[in-house]
Structure 1
Amino acid sequence: MKKALMARFAGRVDMPDFSIANDEKLTPARLRIELLAGLTVALALVPEAVAFAFVAGVHPLVGLYAAFLVGLVTALIGGRPGMISGATGALAVVMVALVAQHGVEYLFATVVLMGILQVIAGVLQWGKFIRLVPHPVMLGFVNGLAIVIFLAQMSQFKVPGSIENTGHGMGGGEWLSGMPLYLMLGLTALTMLIIWGMPKITRVVPAPLAGIGIVAALVIGLGLDVPRVGDMASIKGGLPEFHIPAVPLNWETLEIILPYSVILAAIGLIESLLTLNLVGEMTGKRGGASQECIAQGASNVLTGFFGGMGGCAMIGQSMINVKSGARTRIAGIAAALFLLTFILFAAPLIELIPLAALVGVMFMVVIGTFAWNSLKILAKVPMTDAFVIVLVTVVTVLEDLAVAVVVGVIVSALAYAWNNARRIHAKTYATPEGAKVYQVQGPLFFGSSDGFIELFNPSDDPSVVIVDFADSRVVDQSALQAIEAVAAKYETAGKSIQLRHLSRDCHKLLTKAGHLMIDSDDDPDYEIAVDYGVRTGILGDH
């Protein structure tokens, strides 16, 4: 049993793959692009990790260690080269209550359990269910996340030390004013201008890195008094140390951490898998959903034992990485190692970088992430799809990503069920023998079962009625109940009903339902038309 489980686990994880599209070799030029993209991402990770640590109510190094460990493990064994993972706001807003009530040690234990749940989800291949997320939900997801990223940058336009962080960085604090505000806006705009214009001049250096470097050099050279990374917190620290969470190993502890672990695991996987799909669309290469689940879980288990707050995929940093030209795992690995280097050796230098430069990078990410074409198609797509796009966008901003996606999927599913329920109808004709045939059109399921029953008129029909399912499918128990209800009405009227042209799956479903269908020589592939009788009283009262 244990060997089989380990074999299945190993089958979900591929060895690190450094190849890029079309099997292009790892050339010096490619290596340069990957390393520079990793450096750019690492610089953008620093303020994000620190800010999310503040949101969760933990020390900044807890967020930085999470960014390093989660980023490194997922880059090595994740399901999609090019993705970047680390500490995120979506998880931090859930963690804050746990830390406030029980302390940081319970957070570490929660992160470990969260990772275990994610690994289980990967082994069981639950990641494949991300395919059920409709495209309108994806559009709402990217739009909402773009707005969240934008709002998160607003805290950088407030006086350092006055900010009361919330999930989107908008809580309290005193806004900058006068010359500090003008400098912040000007440097942010300059960074954005450099990122926009640099590709037109050269692609030797990733545009975001060029923007950060030029603006940082300008600020340091001129001695401008603007908020810098060091104003948020010191990022200097040592190597993360192995640490078993200091919590009692009892049922009470499990009752505390399990609800948080389930929520965090769900949010982390949803955000990671949606980012996986988004990056796949941008690069034209599919990723492995189950492998990504396992990678996220393994990274969080490791992070929990090394004093990190856990994490998941980061769409903003992933966009920076991909748009900087990264296509392999090298960039993600490099980003994690650069981040660790910053913590160990380069903290004084990194702390001099103006926040305006990093805000400018994130604003360009917002512009690139938001699905602007979705605004054009709102009037062209079905009203339900347009509603789902707007709904998911709003819920993502006001609540969180997981709730938004679940709500969007539910609304889309209900709309789909309603549309299919209205499609049920039947054509009728008489056979030479005098039987009446109802040729059912549309799927028979819980949404259309009432409409199906209303198609029949037992009092006026002849003694033999045939229901032809050549253009229909019997889907669920509600459909079986509807068939039996119709049969019971004809039985009460002293008439018989027969089923024709059942597909193989419909035949199997009907046969399984307590022999609802009277046995007959069956050819479900329609080579001959077999008429099946129906037994009543199998599924209970109607």
Structure 2
Amino acid sequence: MFKFDMANNNVKNDVLSGITVALALVPEAVAFAFVAGVEPMVGLYAAFMMGLITSAIGGRPGMISGATGAMAVVMVALVAMHGVQYLFAAVVLAGLLQILAGVFRLGKFIRLVPYPVMLGFVNGLAIVIFLAQLGQFKVFDTSGLQVWMTGEVLYLMLGLTALTMAIIVFLPKLTKAVPSSLAAIIVVTGLVHGLDLEARTVIDFVRDMLPEEEKATATLAGELPSFSIPMVPFTLETLYIILPTAIILSLVGLIESLLTLTLIDEMTNTRGRGNKECIGQGVANTVNGFFGGMGGCAMIGQSMININSGGRGRLSGITAAIVLLGFILFASQLIEMIPLAALVGVMFMVVIGTFEWASFKIIRGVNKEDAFVLFLVTFVTVIADLAIAVIVGVIVSALVFAWKHATHISAKSYTDKDDWKVYELDGPLFFGSVTHFKEIFDPENDPTDVVIDFNESQIWDSSGIDALDTLADKYEAAGKKLHIRHISPECRKLLRKASKFVEINVNEDPRYYVASDELG
């Protein structure tokens, strides 16, 4: 991961970076609003409120939140079937669930996401961002169908995109006084309008999304969002309608936000606060529902723009939100005139900076299981969504871990001076290794006294406890005495049948806990 010098964290960098982010927020907020089936202003309000609140009270300074595609796709069915007011109610409930996640300190579990899953998440999102930008290279033909650009229109789009990327790459070599992304947007916008080039702008993008009768009056101008309780019946039937969507929204939002937080932690060599971020995201979504926004979560693309432009503190996100609101209220014409090519160029640079190119080298050095998980998470992120990809990745990683450790349990056996057979176990005893554990012993042919020594082994879960109880039954049925040494007091507490065979040595017996509801 890239490292950044935190000494450059200052007001100027945060403010200029925030302005850059505000410009990049507009087209995505509008696009995701259309994906969810709501008005563009609902997406812009969401970008403003999510950005302001999470930057002010969240757990990761420098991270940008707003309306996102991952959450927008979850909203489509609810909006289509019940209307936007039910969406607002669902967003409020999702926010409350996220607040509870923070209060109960569930944010720490994101640290359990394996490294290959994290790499797959980063690479998958980079590909998703790239594919999303390709949509800007399409136009509507006379029949109303979207087709790829051709001829001079395409060449102009490619040229302006390349110019934007070149400015972002080479300007920092000359000066770092202004974020290169902001400078690129300003230069390309001035060039397009100064030379009167026929380039598509943000307002063209908005008009393409609207019905024909609304195109002429399309604008991104708006008013301050106002407080309003969602107009839905306060009944159990309403709860039944919105609860499934609210749960999915809360999970998707937290997973994407906490993984983005972890990524920024690594990039900036700092540590965000996961539980505080859960509460910040929850408060922001709750406020969204009451002020007519579609909610959202952390945005990896805009967060990367912010970090790469020098934004480190809370002021960068707050500036982005306030500038965005300022554009909506007072200067919508300025954002409407920005060429889409400039924003596409900025996002292409985000893709290049976000994709973990080193993963290709890492794959050569890691085992094939980790490589499989990395590619799996990347693939699922692209074809499905982030939440499903991360859940699949964690489950597969856990199964791979269990499979690899299933045969790690072994035993050295010998006969001591009293003619007792001693089995010295080595390796974990858990659900994955139970079958191999049972194959180690021979109750029929073993001598009268048998010792199982757990000095180099541990019982990890209730499956291991049950396997030990079952083995004790077999030795007792064969008329033989089993001696169990060096297990923890917690294991002795959970053993039902084998507990009478445990030899207690207070000084030598270990102390560790077993995954069991009884001890929970």
Which TM-score band (shorter chain)?
A: over 0.9
Q: Per the alignment, in what secondary structure is the counterpart of residue 41 of structure 2?
A: helix
Is contact 1:453-1:485 (8 Å) kept?
no
* Corresponding position: 1:173 with 2:146: yes
**1:57-68 mapped onto 2 (5 Å cutoff):** 57-68=37-48
Counterpart selection for 1:518 from 495, 500, 510: 500
Once residues 240 and 506 of structure 2 are traced to their aligned partners in structure 1, the CA distance between those partners, rounded to angstroms, is 51
Mapped partners of 1:266, 1:432: distance in 2: 60
Aligned partners of 1:442 and 1:473 also within 8 Å: yes
Query: What SS class does the counterpart of residue 378 from structure 1 fall into?
Result: helix
Separation in 2, partners of 1:521, 1:486: 16
1:40 maps to which residue?
A: 20
In the superposition, the TM-score normalised over structure 2's length comes to 0.92
Question: Distance in 1 between the 2:398 and 2:293 partners?
Answer: 38
Report the 3-state secondary structure (helix = DSSP H, G, I; strand = E; otherwise coil) of the residue aligned with 1:489.
helix
* AA matched with 2:494: K
1:117 matched to 2:94? The reply is no
Contact 1:465/1:497 (8 A) holds in 2:
yes
Kindly indicate whether residue 397 of structure 2 is the aligned counterpart of residue 424 of structure 1. Answer: no
CA distance in 1, matches of 2:452, 2:258: 44
Q: Aligned partner of 1:385: which letter?
A: D
Alpha-carbon distance in 1 for matches of 2:24, 2:193: 18
1:203-229: per-residue Cα shift (whole Å, max 9, x none)?
Answer: 000011111111111001001111101
Q: Which residue of 1 aligns with 2:203?
A: 230
Q: Higher RCO, 1 or 2 (CA under 8 Å, sep at least 6)? A: 2
- Where structure 2 has 5 or more consecutive residues not aligned to the other structure, the ranges are 207-218, 511-520
Question: In the alignment, which of 20, 28, 34 is matched to residue 54 of structure 1?
Answer: 34
Aligned-partner Cα distance in 2 for 1:199–1:249: 55
Whether 1:220 aligns to 2:193 is yes
Aligned to 2:210: none
| Superposition map of 1:287-298 within 5 A | 287-298=272-283
1:230 deviates by: 1.1
Q: Look up the match of 1:272.
A: 257
Q: CA deviation at 1:155?
A: 1.4
- Change over 3 Å in CA distance of 1:350–1:224 after alignment to 2: same
Q: Does 1:126 align with 2:99?
A: no
The question of 1:490 aligning with 2:475 is answered yes
Q: Deviations over 1:243-300 (max 9, x none)?
A: 1111111111111100000001000000000000000001111111100000000000
* Counterpart in the other structure of 1:534: none
- Note closer, same or farther for the CA distance 1:125–1:527 as it changes in structure 2 (3 Å cut): closer
Aligned residues: CA RMSD: 2.0
- Provide the C-alpha distance between the structure 1 equivalents of 2:18 and 2:503, rounded to a whole number of angstroms: 66
1:515 deviates by 6.8
Check if 1:83 corresponds to 2:83: no
Report if the CA contact (8 A) 1:155-1:163 is conserved. no
Instruction: Call closer, same or farther: CA 1:162–1:292 in 2, change over 3 Å.
Output: farther
SS in 2 for 1:303: helix
Q: CA 1:520–1:155 in structure 2 vs 1: closer, same or farther (change >3 Å)?
A: closer
2:167 pairs with 1:194 = yes
Report the CA distance between 1:139 and its aligned residue.
0.4
The aligned amino acid for 2:391 is V
Deviation at 1:380, TM superposition (A): 2.2
- Secondary structure, in 3 states, of the residue corresponding to 1:459? coil
Partner of 1:405: 390
Match of 1:326 in 2: 311
TM-score (norm 1): 0.89
Partner SS, residue 291 of structure 1: helix
Counterpart position of 1:447: 432
Deviates further, 487-496 or 347-356: 487-496
Give the corresponding residue for 1:508.
Answer: 490
**Does 1:285 find its partner at 2:265?**
no
Q: Aligned letter for 1:429?
A: Y
Q: Would the alpha carbon gap of residues 155 and 383 (structure 1) be closer, same or farther in structure 2, given more than 3 Å must change?
A: same
Identity of aligned residues (%): 59
Are 2:486 and 2:509, in contact at CA under 8 Å, matched by a contact in 1? no
Kept in 2, the 8 Å contact 1:469–1:501? The answer is yes
Contact 2:484/2:502 (<8 A) preserved: no
Quote the residue 2:350 is aligned against: 365
Which shows bigger deviation, 310-319 or 469-478?
Answer: 469-478
Equivalent-residue separation in structure 2 for 1:513 and 1:135 (angstroms):
36
Tell whether the 8 Å contact from 1:501 to 1:524 is kept in structure 2 after alignment.
no
Where structure 1 has 5 or more consecutive residues not aligned to the other structure, the ranges are: 1-19, 165-171, 529-542
Match of 1:308 in 2: 293
* 1:102 alignment counterpart: 82
Pick aligned residue for 2:459 from 474, 494, 500: 474
* Partner Cα distance (1:284, 1:163) in 2: 52
Query: Given that residues 483 and 502 in structure 2 are in contact (C-alpha distance below 8 angstroms), is that contact kept between their aligned partners in structure 1?
Result: no
Could you list the per-position Cα deviations for residues 42-65 of structure 1 after superposition, in whole angstroms to 9, with x for gaps in the alignment?
000001100101111111000000
**Contact preservation (8 Å) 1:507, 1:524:** no
What SS does the corresponding residue of 1:261 show, helix, strand or coil? helix
